Structure 1
Amino acid sequence: MTKKIGFIVGSLRKDSYNKKIAETFETLLPDGFEAEFLEIGNLPLYNEDLDVEGKVPEEWTTFREAAKTIDGVFFFTPEYNRSIPASIKNALDVGSRPYGASIWTQKPGLVVSGSMGPIAGFGANHHLRQSLVFLDVPVLQQPEAYIGTFQNLVGEDGKFVEPTVEFFQTIVDAYVVFFNKLTA
């Protein structure tokens, strides 16, 4: 049975570096695993007043229903002001409500942060992990996935150079082992 891994990209920009990283990760998933990109850019900000019958935004329902079908989740995050983008935090909030109906519980996770800077979104990576602990998302610890100086990791064709792809594959392979241990 194929395992669906939800891919959540925090940068909403059309030519997002994190989106390019996610698209490369998608190609590295082994047989039996498939990526499903979950749209988060259209989610209205979470407001508990709207989370009642007859008022729930359609986008929340669509997101929650899609996320319920995934078996694990990869987060690809840039760093905005030493933290995660609002789009990811909002997706976490929408998916964790209403209370007792979280779609995140016990779904094995992976956090990948990428940026043009040398510290590669370290702050965002760790802030996201902090929220995931509370949401009961077990997260792969090693290898850590900080993708810094993005502009130096792609060739003239816009694709990642081979040593970088090999590193990405190491991360994906470790996640698959982690996932299989948790879901066995």
Structure 2
Amino acid sequence: MKRYEIGLFIGSLRRDSINRRLATALKRLAPPELGFTEIAIGDLPLYNQDHEIVGGLPAGVQRMKEALEPVQGVLFVTPEYNRSVPGVLKNALDWASRPKGANSVAGKAGAVCGAAPGAIGTAAGQQHLRTVLAALDVHTMGQPEFYLQFTPDLISMDGQVHNEGTQAFLRQFMQAYAGWVRRLCG
């Protein structure tokens, strides 16, 4: 069985983030052909093109871009802030796509998901993220869509899913994503 490495972006910096719990659960429920590398985004400076022109890429940006180079896919597990993409995630994508001609996410097999306490989950933020990913040439899986309303004991800190229906849905999502990666990456 061929193995594929997936760059995992978690759009929240909070240590106890519900989306970090979700990401842990997704890794646990993923088919064995998918391996995961978390792409750290918390130490990136705010995007400023002057870095490209004057002093080169900051160390954190270079580390992130190097981590992205060998992966075949990118999975975004993110909250929604004010009906949009968290600033830290957008900043990471701005850096990942630079400098011009060195887009570290272009052509990769992507998927977007997230959880929030509200009834529509992260639907609005995901739509904005999909628009950004399209501009960056990330081939984002369209179906199944994934909008999870998070309740306090749905997923434990170690990624255990306590609801059988939710567990089945998460497993199905990861199987669909594995199929998407296989289709795009051979």
1:14 lines up with 2:15 in the alignment: yes
Q: Which runs of 5+ in 1 are unaligned?
A: none
Percent identity between the aligned chains? 38
Q: Over aligned residue pairs, what C-alpha RMSD do you find?
A: 1.8
Q: Which amino acid aligns with 2:122?
A: G
Counterpart position of 2:39: 38
Which deviates the most, 142-151 or 113-122? 142-151
| Counterpart Cα distance in 1 of 2:34 and 2:102 | 25
Which deviates the most, 130-139 or 49-58? 49-58
The DSSP-based 3-state class of the residue aligned with 2:104 is: coil
CA contact (8 A) 1:17 1:150 kept: no
Counterpart position of 1:96: 97
Counterpart position of 1:177: 179
Q: Which structure carries more relative contact order (alpha carbon 8 Å, separation 6+)? A: 2
Name segments (4+ residues, structure 1) moved above 3 Å: 52-55
Describe how 1:32-181 pairs up with structure 2 within 5 A. Answer: 32-52=33-53, 54-151=55-152, 153-154=154-155, 159-161=160-162, 162-181=164-183
Which deviates the most, 16-25 or 160-169? 160-169
TM-score by length of 1: 0.94
1:77-128 per-residue CA deviation (whole Å, 9 max, x = no partner) reads 1010000101110110000000111011110001002101111011101000
Q: Which amino acid aligns with 2:43?
A: N
TM-score by length of 2: 0.93
Q: Which runs of 5+ in 2 are unaligned?
A: none
